[in-house]
Structure 1
Amino acid sequence: MSWLPSLQTETPEEGFDLAIKLSRMAVKKTQPDDAARARMRPDYANNADSLTMASHVVAANFQTVAQANDYWRS
């Protein structure tokens, strides 16, 4: 089974969680070395600009998920 079977979610909260997962998977696929990611984490975990940029990526992914779910309109 794929790690991403669908962009469909039941709720906006589930959609936001999916947006976070999409963002994290992008990092993992870009840098597949666990040790390298672990070494770099302190650099960005304590950098306000890096955290703001990470939030922007999640927001962009959430926009995609929201569109795929017709903004959860019923």
Structure 2
Amino acid sequence: MEAEKRIRRSRHSMLCRQISKKRVEADDMHGNKDQSECLEFEVMIMEIIFVAALLYAAASVVTFKHLIYYFDNKL
């Protein structure tokens, strides 16, 4: 019974942390600083997308290098 309460409390605190607002500072197109609030999970999603884009770019470079190496050896 006590363990269930602890689990519920931990789930609730995790949800509250994920939904809590976070102040984000960014530069707009003109270089001006802009502060806005967004939900923390939105920031997490943006970070995941950024990392995924970096991984995709790295994989593309490696694939391109392999193709060049393959065709160089064919000639």
Per the normalisation by structure 2, the TM-score is: 0.33
Higher relative contact order (CA 8 A, sep 6+): 1
Per the normalisation by structure 1, the TM-score is: 0.34
Q: Which structure has the bigger radius of gyration? A: 2
